[in-house]
Each structure stands twice: as structure tokens, then as C-alpha cells.
A and B are shown apart, each in its own frame.
Chain A
């Protein structure tokens, strides 16, 4: 199976600071990476889709200047939550996918639980 590693698994930060979350595909090349946010007992909400070497496509209502996504290589994407506020506290999960014609399913990182105090 494919392995996706997300780091850190848990972070607590002060209001106003920025937090970077990394997502790595360890044994395959991730043509596309997805970033999701999940509130307690709610479904995953897609924030943005990123393809290697190009700008991320953000979903409606997601502020691209607040949630900076970089997908610099086929194995690494990062999400930076800038000027974090308590309402940004959530569970952030990345997923990665190979070329859809080769393997259409996506594999998930372990998630990052962000708490902004």
C-alpha cells in the first residue's frame, strides 16, 4: 500500500503565529495532493487541491492568503496557516494521489491537530 506521512501530528501555537504542516508521499510520486479540514463529528471539508509545480486550487470560502499551499516536488506538499487564530483550531489532513489513470484512490496522512491559544 501507499504511505503518506504528515508532520507534525499535533501542534499548539499562540494566536498570531504561523504554523507549517508537511505532507510527504513516501513510496510513490504524488501527482496531486489534497488538503482537508475536519471539525469534531463532521465530515472532511476539502480546502484545496494542489498539483506539483503549479498553484493550488482553493475551494470556495477558503482564504488562499491565510492557508498557503506549496507543492514543490512530487513527494512533498506543505500547508502554512498564517496568523493563526483560535477559530483555525481543527484537524487538518492531507491526502496524496498518483496519476488517476494509474491509481485513482488517494491515501491519507495521519492528520495534524492544531490548537491555537
Chain B
């Protein structure tokens, strides 16, 4: 079983739609959790950290459920510019482990 699992998609949604991505992790001792965004042929960029209390940044909401070892990212009012691959990242024993990414394509 992979340490961090994501549905690779692709998710094809119209502009303005709400879309949710999920991620599960296997190591219950994991300490920190993040969502990164990666555009084609570019490096990943930090989108947001994920906290147990949930956190929101504009149209983006991230949630963490430690009991279920599950992380989510919700994007509201999708824009064309949101098209990218979204990477779930988990930190444990000092390492950052990436999921395979979920591809989002927002269409006009």
C-alpha cells in the first residue's frame, strides 16, 4: 500500500463548479500535512497547510481527519487558472511524502 494515496483523476469540471479532492495516508504517526499545486513541467508550490481544525484560504478549504487518516481539499467557484495537479503531502520522520497527485481541468 502506498504511504499517501490520491485519486489521480482527471477531474473535468466547468468554471464555477465546486470540486473536492481526497487523500489517505498510512502512517498514523504523520505529523504535518499539506496541499501543493504543480503546473505542467513546473515545480510544486505550497497551496496550504492542513490542520485538524480545518482551514480556509479564499476559495480553498482543507480538512484533516486524523482518526480516519484522511485529508481533503475543497475548491469553490473553480477558475480556469485552477487547472493543475494537486499533490497531497504528508510529513513523518522528517520526510515529505507525496501522493501521486490529482489532476484538475477546469473548462469554460
Contacts and interface: CB of A to CB of B under 8 A. Distances in A.
Nearest to B103: A41
Interface stretch (B11-19, B62-70, B87-95): B87-95
Interface of A: 6, 32, 34, 36, 42-44, 46, 49, 91, 93, 95, 97, 100, 104-111, 113
Contacts of A104: 31-32, 49, 91
B60 to A, nearest CB: 15
Given A108-B44, A108-B45, A110-B43, A46 B97 contact: yes
Contacts of B44: 44, 93, 95, 108
A93 B43 contact: yes
Contacts of B94: 32, 49, 100
Interface of B: 31-32, 34, 41-46, 49, 87, 91, 94-101
A43 B42 contact: no
Contacts of B45: 108
Contacts of B87: 43-44
Given A95-B96, A105-B34, 5 more contacts: A34-B95, A49-B94, A100-B32, A100-B91, A104-B31
